[in-house]
A and B are shown apart, each in its own frame.
Chain A
Amino acid sequence: MKKYFCSFRMGMKSEYEYRLNFIFVLFSAFFPMIIQTFLWIAIFENSKKPIVYGYTLNQMILYTILSQMIAKFLKTGVETEISTDVKTGGLSKYIIKPFNYLLYKLFGFVGKKAIHMEIILAFILIVLVVFNWKVQITMSIGRGVVFLVAVFLALILNFYIFCCLSMLSFWVTDAWGIFFGARFLIDMMSGAIFPIDIFGETIIKVFQALPFQYMVYFTVNIITGKISLHMALQGIGIQVIWILVLGLLTRYLWKRGLLQYVAVGG
């Protein structure tokens, strides 16, 4: 187990070397936030109703900001790392070592995110304080703890979703196009762009059967108080189940993929 904590620490340290980068990533999220905010203002003005899809204007803006930030925090990039390793033969140096490559990647990833965590929490706190006088937010310590757990699980869930996807690179030499499309779809289905509520009942039902909404939509709803604590705990249970399912699937694909691996170069 020690080796994976070492990977965690190294992920943390190497990300710390480039900590400013993440702040810029967050700032880059600022522009879509503004565009969407204006879009929602226009929609609310035209609909002449104070509540659209179950959100007031202020709630909708709060959702937009929080979802963008959490989505940026969860972002992995692990799919490009793994597929580059497979394509260029860099994977060779890992599979001769007595450890589990996927766990090693997971811990390195969580280590990286540990650095982002502080930055993102500070931002979220500021946003909540600023919005508190506009939107009624039911905040409690219990809810805060549940939120932290949910974000952590969302992180692991996101890792396994992309890890699973990256296993494709064993069969498709350059899966970049697939990743690009998938990233957009997953963003949409996870609620990073709009709240899931706007899609209509049938599609919501479909989304509920998928793991994606448990990353952004679910975690944002915990902190804005849109769902009850009881439902939040239930959601955490579903997150755990999805992590197990995807983890096992990834492992299976990994084993099959290694039979295909040709270790080019060198």
Chain B
Amino acid sequence: MNAISVKNLNKVFTYYEKKEGFQHSLKNLLVRKQKTKEAVKDISFDIDSGDIVGFLGPNGAGKTTTLKMLSGILYPTSGEVQVLGYCPWKRQKQFKMKYSMVLGQKSQLWPDLPATETFRLNQYIYEVDEKKCKMLVDELTEYLDVKHLLHVQVRRLSLGERMKLELIASLIHSPQLIFLDEPSIGLDLVSQQKIRSFIRYWNEQYKTTVMITSHYMKDIEDLCERVIVINSGKKLYDGSLCDVNYMFKNIKIVNLELSDEIDDMKLAEFGTITKKEGLNCTMEVHKEDLHEFIGYVTEKLNIKDINISDIPVEKGIELLYR
């Protein structure tokens, strides 16, 4: 069954441009040129229930805008979306009861009160049974090691501590679907690791569908088998993470260890040099030129070692971002 299905989704924002300087501010008072930005262009995809899907893209690619439309915060300009069988922007109560969203940069906890108060509020909002809620909170605080923070005023917590509690607050109603927008932003390595293993555990335990955006490659590698990559509003890639480099199957990475110095220009004839340190040289070579290149290297150059490999996943994603 599809948890999410998106068809030809579009979102256009209108805004006013303001150039630097007071003069332009004054000008803006009189005439403002309206500009439009297509934040999301014709995106389609389906997500099976129970999957963890990574949603990647450089800053400003339209990730959060898409998530906002999927969660019903924004109305799309055009397109069809079904999330858990509902149309999200109709904002039906039954729909809202079934999903949850963690915005890494927007806190839902009351800053002046300890986190338990927000948990209680959510318990009532989502009409969760008192006992069930207590058990869940116990389990989650144990797992994330935040039991001692439950009774501290939220504004006194560190970012990482708050983030963990934030995650708990959004899981109180055991949602079928979770949108995580940069859940690991600003966290230390141990906390990132903890949140990752927690998301994995939660997904396995409750078969929850998870859609996650993150700029930490490790998050994505650990959690997602499938990724969707978008850039400037368009979908570029949709498939398994390890196949990202398949799109760049025509490019090979060649690692050379030379025994003599050699002119860069000669090597550059066959491909682009990405790194050169003394006698160590890394190059990107097109598949078609590979045969010729190897011939050249083995015959004309004195090499100690040669290593030919595919583009690594991380590099593949980086290339997509460009």
Q: Which residue of the partner chain, among B68, B75, B104, contacts A92 with CB atoms under 8 Å?
A: B68
Instruction: Say yes or no: is A262 at the interface (Cβ < 8 Å to chain B).
Output: yes
**Contact assessment for A89 and B106 in the assembled complex, using a CB-CB cutoff below 8 Å:** yes
Interface size class, chain B: 20 to 34
**Contact assessment for A95 and B112 in the assembled complex, using a CB-CB cutoff below 8 Å:** no
Interface size class, chain A: 20 to 34
**Contact assessment for A6 and B106 in the assembled complex, using a CB-CB cutoff below 8 Å:** no
Interchain CA distance A13-B151 in the complex, whole Å: 13
Instruction: Say yes or no: is B13 at the interface (Cβ < 8 Å to chain A).
Output: yes
Interchain CA distance A82-B170 in the complex, whole Å: 22
CB distance from A135 to the nearest CB of B (A): 41
Residue on A with the closest CB to B97? A98
Say yes or no: A262-B13 contact (C-beta < 8 A), given A10-B121, A95-B91, A96-B71: yes
Chain A residues numbered 208-226 whose CB sits less than 8 Å from any CB in chain B: none
Interchain CA distance A163-B112 in the complex, whole Å: 22
Say yes or no: A93-B13 contact (C-beta < 8 A), given A6-B120, A98-B126: no
Residue on A with the closest CB to B65? A263
Instruction: Say yes or no: is B125 at the interface (Cβ < 8 Å to chain A).
Output: yes
**Contact assessment for A98 and B96 in the assembled complex, using a CB-CB cutoff below 8 Å:** yes
Instruction: Say yes or no: is A7 at the interface (Cβ < 8 Å to chain B).
Output: yes
CB-based A-B contact count at 8 angstroms = 68
Residues in B neighbouring A263, C-beta threshold 8 A: 68, 73-74
As a 0/1 sequence over residues 93 to 128 of chain B, the CB contacts with chain A under 8 angstroms (1 = contact) are: 100110111011111101011000100110011100
**Contact assessment for B75 and A259 in the assembled complex, using a CB-CB cutoff below 8 Å:** yes
Instruction: Say yes or no: is B141 at the interface (Cβ < 8 Å to chain A).
Output: no
Chain A residues numbered 252-266 whose CB sits less than 8 Å from any CB in chain B: 259, 261-263, 265-266
Residues in B neighbouring A2, C-beta threshold 8 A: 124
Residues in A neighbouring B112, C-beta threshold 8 A: 14, 17-18
Residues in B neighbouring A6, C-beta threshold 8 A: 120-121, 124-125
Say yes or no: A266-B72 contact (C-beta < 8 A), given A10-B121, A17-B112, A98-B96: no
**Contact assessment for B73 and A95 in the assembled complex, using a CB-CB cutoff below 8 Å:** yes
Residues in B neighbouring A95, C-beta threshold 8 A: 72-73, 91
**Contact assessment for A99 and B125 in the assembled complex, using a CB-CB cutoff below 8 Å:** yes
Residues in A neighbouring B181, C-beta threshold 8 A: 266
**Contact assessment for B106 and A90 in the assembled complex, using a CB-CB cutoff below 8 Å:** yes
Interchain CA distance A250-B61 in the complex, whole Å: 35
Instruction: Say yes or no: is B255 at the interface (Cβ < 8 Å to chain A).
Output: no
Chain B residues numbered 137-153 whose CB sits less than 8 Å from any CB in chain A: 153
**Contact assessment for B73 and A14 in the assembled complex, using a CB-CB cutoff below 8 Å:** no
CB distance from B116 to the nearest CB of A (A): 11
**Contact assessment for A96 and B101 in the assembled complex, using a CB-CB cutoff below 8 Å:** yes
Instruction: Say yes or no: is A230 at the interface (Cβ < 8 Å to chain B).
Output: no
CB distance from A97 to the nearest CB of B (A): 6
From B72, B73, B74, B117, residue with most partner A Cβ within 10 Å: B73
Residues in A neighbouring B93, C-beta threshold 8 A: 98
Instruction: Say yes or no: is A183 at the interface (Cβ < 8 Å to chain B).
Output: no
Instruction: Say yes or no: is A3 at the interface (Cβ < 8 Å to chain B).
Output: yes
Residue on A with the closest CB to B88? A96
Interchain CA distance A2-B124 in the complex, whole Å: 6
**Contact assessment for A265 and B105 in the assembled complex, using a CB-CB cutoff below 8 Å:** yes
CB distance from A170 to the nearest CB of B (A): 13
Interchain CA distance A7-B110 in the complex, whole Å: 11
Instruction: Say yes or no: is B82 at the interface (Cβ < 8 Å to chain A).
Output: no
**Contact assessment for A266 and B124 in the assembled complex, using a CB-CB cutoff below 8 Å:** no
Chain B residues numbered 181-226 whose CB sits less than 8 Å from any CB in chain A: 181
**Contact assessment for B103 and A92 in the assembled complex, using a CB-CB cutoff below 8 Å:** yes
Say yes or no: A266-B105 contact (C-beta < 8 A), given A96-B73, A97-B125, A98-B125: yes
**Contact assessment for A3 and B73 in the assembled complex, using a CB-CB cutoff below 8 Å:** no
CB distance from A99 to the nearest CB of B (A): 5
Residues in B neighbouring A265, C-beta threshold 8 A: 105-106
Interchain CA distance A92-B121 in the complex, whole Å: 17
As a 0/1 sequence over residues 1 to 38 of chain A, the CB contacts with chain B under 8 angstroms (1 = contact) are: 01101110010011001100000000000000000000
Say yes or no: A266-B64 contact (C-beta < 8 A), given A13-B117, A96-B71: yes
Interchain CA distance A96-B67 in the complex, whole Å: 12
Residues in B neighbouring A14, C-beta threshold 8 A: 110, 112-113
**Contact assessment for B106 and A92 in the assembled complex, using a CB-CB cutoff below 8 Å:** yes
- Can you report 18 residue pairs joining A to B where beta carbons are below 8 Å apart? A3-B124, A7-B121, A10-B110, A17-B112, A17-B113, A90-B106, A92-B103, A92-B106, A95-B91, A96-B100, A98-B93, A99-B125, A259-B75, A262-B13, A262-B74, A263-B74, A265-B105, A266-B105
| B residues whose Cβ falls under 8 Å from a Cβ of A | 13, 64, 68, 71-75, 91, 93, 96-97, 99-101, 103-108, 110, 112-113, 117, 120-121, 124-126, 153, 181
Seed contacts A89-B106, A259-B75; 18 additional CB < 8 Å A-B pairs: A2-B124, A3-B121, A3-B125, A10-B113, A14-B113, A92-B103, A93-B103, A93-B108, A95-B91, A96-B71, A96-B96, A97-B96, A98-B93, A98-B125, A98-B126, A261-B73, A263-B74, A266-B106
Ranked nearest first, the 7 interchain pairs of A and B with the lowest CB-CB distance are A98-B96, A3-B124, A14-B112, A266-B105, A93-B108, A6-B124, A98-B93
